[in-house]
Amino acid sequence: MTENSLQESVRTIRRDLESAIAAADSTQEIEALRVRFLGRKGAVSALFKQLGSVPPDQRKAAGQAINDLKQFGEDEISRLISRHAATTTTEAAPDLTLPGNWPQAGSLHPLTLVQRRIKTIFQNMGFAIADGPEIETEYYNFEALNIPKGHPAREMQDTLFVDNGFVLRTHTSNVQIRVMERQRPPVRIISPGRCFRRDTPDATHSPVFHQIEGLCVDEGITFADLRGVILNFARQMFGPDMKIRFRPSYFPFVEPGAEYDFTCFICMGRGCRVCKGSGWIEISGAGMVNPVVFETIGYDSERYTGYAFGMGVERIAMALYQVEDIRMFFENDLRFLQQF
Ligand code: DAH
């Protein structure tokens, strides 16, 4: 083989190399072309093998041409590798503007939300939070509240009895007695908590439900104070246009006793499905603490007067969120709970 024909082969391989470099655009393709041209059995080493058949006086120039080709190939391929690495790194870098994957977060139960709002409003009016037992003696749940054995009001309450004179409390009024036993007036508390009754569950009854009891005792407390506090609460909770009304009623531990209603906060009194057309939502009972109760716990009923009120948490939550079945609050269905 002459130097000339070898030089011709060098030029051909160089052109092949150049077009292969221009076409390669993946790591695998670059590696494949490196093996094809510069590998141990590649095109360049094949040229070196042919060098032996070139006449000795032409070998130097021919060898130089192959070495140049080899150098050219190495330079171009390493440039290609670094250019490719630079572009693929940019593509693979995380896009910091993409929204992340949020961990699933829980949320507060609707009854908790409503209870918290109610508590905050009363705390801002100076009421303290009091707690009491859910498993209660008949004395605190009934007798001390002027509901003696055999009193028809006991029958009304559908009590769940535990052993030995204990009951599951049927209301949060038990806390009134416990607070007054350990504290002299002035007393100003609310007591949120669970209550239990032997009710068959339906859209408006649940054997477990929540009440918030209120109690205020001091010298000179009147029904007007009760009315003012309830009205203030209604307006803070549902807006400045709220009205309240009291209807005469009977609860053994208050005298006079009443039931009280709020303007329906869905239709603002015009009448709708939630208030059954009446324009009012029944909240619970209230009244002036019966002097008999003061005598029982040892307050001077000549000196002190007070008011007490109840509040049904589910009733408020149902109207507020337009929940039509009380059982929804207790079924723990995520499709319901995730809406709050
Ligand atoms: N304890 C009553 C009930 O569960 C509600 C109630 C009525 C509470 C009148 C009071 C009250 O404090 O004065 O139905």
Residue 264's CATH number: 3.30.930.10
Residues 226 and 138 in one domain: yes
Ligand 1 geometric centre to CA of 45 (Å)? 102
Residue 335: the pLDDT is: 93
Residues 155 and 275 in one domain: yes
Residues 274 and 164 in one domain: yes
| Mean pLDDT by groups of 10 residues along the chain of 340 residues | 84 89 85 89 88 87 88 89 74 82 88 97 98 96 93 78 92 98 97 95 94 98 98 96 97 97 91 90 96 97 98 93 94 93
96: in domain: no
153: burial class by Cβ within 10 Å (0-12, 13-18, 19+)? middle
CA distances from 319 to 64, 193, 200, 244, 271 (A): 95, 19, 21, 15, 13
94: in domain: no
99: in domain: no
Residues 49 and 129 in one domain: no
Q: Which residue is closest in CA terms to ligand 1's atom 8?
A: 310
| Domain end point (choices 36, 58, 88) | 88
- Overall domain count for the chain: 2
Residues 26 and 138 in one domain: no
Residues 176 and 82 in one domain: no
105: in domain: no
Residue 207: the pLDDT is: 96
Q: Which atom of ligand 1 is nearest to the CA of 145?
A: 1
Residues 82 and 155 in one domain: no
Tokens 């083989």, located at residue: 1
Dihedral angle computed from the Cα positions of residues 101, 102, 103 and 107, in that order, rounded to the nearest 10 degrees? -160
Question: Residue 278 belongs to what domain range?
Answer: 110-337
**CA 286 – CA 236 distance, rounded (Å):** 19
Ligand 1 geometric centre to CA of 284 (Å)? 7
First to last CA, the chain: 88
Q: Which atom of ligand 1 is nearest to the CA of 215?
A: 12
Whether the bond into 186 is cis, omega within 30 of 0? yes
Q: Which atom of ligand 1 is nearest to the CA of 309?
A: 12
Residues with CB under 6 A from ligand 1: 171, 173, 213, 251, 254, 284-287, 308-310
